[in-house]
Chains A and B, each alone.
Chain A
Amino acid sequence: MAVTRNRKLLLLLGVVAIAAVIVAVLVAVATTGGDDNDSASAATTTTAQGGTAESGAALLAGIPQSGITLGKASAPATLIEFVDPQCPYCAQWSRNAFPAVVRDFVRTGKVRLEFRGLHFLGPDSEKALRAMLAAGKQGKLFNLAETLYAEQGNENSGWVTDALLRRTAATIPGLNVNKMFADMNSADVDREIKEADELATRYQVEGTPAFALAKPPQSPIPLQGASLDAESFTASLAAALGQ
């Protein structure tokens, strides 16, 4: 009887030891062998361009967002951006110039950004745009826009899937993903899309990204000749602001 009991305990110890080794290997593989594009943390979406939702959040942290605007309502000027979520040059602007604009002009209270999303490139544009505007209902439009630009796929390839929206939106702290999906087809989002289309027509926007600077009481003026790299764009913006 004692022999059987000892043999059982030895067998159990053997099983525990094997399980411990296998778990150690699994954890080691899971910790070190993950996707290179997702190595920082679970709450971070690393983008094709090397940016992250986390760094995007850091860039925007503490700056007021309301609907389609980013920055203080008291800012003396408003930079209106016309963009299409599928437009590669918009992604380029987002990657290169946007951080500098936010850091030097928006955070300092000199400029407020106004997002005017267009969807002339196709159905993927409209779906992404609706998600961005819906995120705007929760004060997260610019967070989602930056994250989606970084995930931009081939034009109208169907890259804006529910899965992509859900995955990217889930990385943005404070964004209720289910509410975002519910708001995507709301009357408010329809109205914002219509308003952007009308504004683009009024400003004769022929391509994206396009920019206009509003300095009340003056009428908005197109921001001409602005290159998409940070240095040139901020120089053009500073000049238009009269700095």
Chain B
Amino acid sequence: MTIRRAVAAVAVVGAAIAGYLTYVHYADVAPICTTGGCEKVQASKYAEFGGIPVAVLGLVAYAGVFALTFVRHELAAAAATLVALIGVGFSAYLLWAQLGPIGAICQWCLANDVTVTVLAVLCVTWLLREPA
């Protein structure tokens, strides 16, 4: 498997998680949750940014990275890396919010944290390997 295919595969996993949370948001249903805090997290102010559900922003970001994997160019790898690193940073902020102000943990958010971190590592590898 090439590094680009690995990035694409992880982006699909991330998009699936973000897509599910987007569905939960707009269908107004409770997320499947074993940690007991998903609903509280989803109902918190941290679940939206500028009035847009963060799940939607995540979905767009993962879709963007997925699309970039079809471009064999250093700049595509750089752009994907940028998006993934922003995702890592913002996910870290949301993790802090869960552990601190919200006081509840959402398993889907944790799954996303792992996914976006793996994605960032893969994107950096892709960037370093992709010919100019």
Residues of A within 8 A of B (CB): 4, 7-8, 11-12, 15-16, 18-20, 22-23, 26-27, 29-30, 33-35, 38-39, 41-43, 161-163, 166-167, 170-171, 177-178
Contacts and interface: CB of A to CB of B under 8 A. Distances in A.
| A contact face: mostly helix, strand, loop, or mixed | helix
B74 A42 contact: no
A-B residue pairs, 8 tightest by C-beta: A42-B44, A23-B89, A19-B85, A170-B43, A42-B102, A38-B45, A41-B101, A163-B28
B82 interface: yes
B127 A8 contact: yes
Interface in B87-132: 89-90, 93, 97, 101-104, 124, 127-128, 132
A42 B90 contact: no
Given A8-B128, A42-B45, A15 B28 contact: no
Given A23-B93, A26-B90, A177-B39, A35 B127 contact: no
A30 B82 CA distance: 20
B132 A7 contact: yes
B49 interface: yes
B46 interface: yes
B127 A42 contact: no
Nearest to B124: A12
Contact of B85 (A16, A30, A42, A43): A16
Contacts of B86: 19, 22-23, 26
A43 B103 contact: yes
Contacts of A43: 40, 44, 101-104
A101 B132 CA distance: 74
Contacts of B104: 43
B43 A19 contact: no
B78 interface: yes
B40 A170 contact: yes
B90 A34 contact: no
A42 to B, nearest CB: 3
24 contacts: A12-B81, A12-B124, A12-B127, A15-B82, A16-B85, A19-B89, A20-B85, A20-B89, A23-B90, A23-B93, A27-B90, A29-B49, A29-B50, A41-B102, A42-B40, A42-B44, A43-B40, A43-B44, A43-B101, A43-B102, A162-B28, A166-B28, A170-B40, A171-B40
B93 A30 contact: yes
B129 to A, nearest CB: 9
A43 B37 CA distance: 11
A19 B27 CA distance: 32
A26 B101 CA distance: 18
The CB with the most chain B CB atoms within 10 A, among A7, A35, A41, A163, is that of A41
A162 B28 CA distance: 7
B67 interface: no
Contacts of B28: 161-163, 166
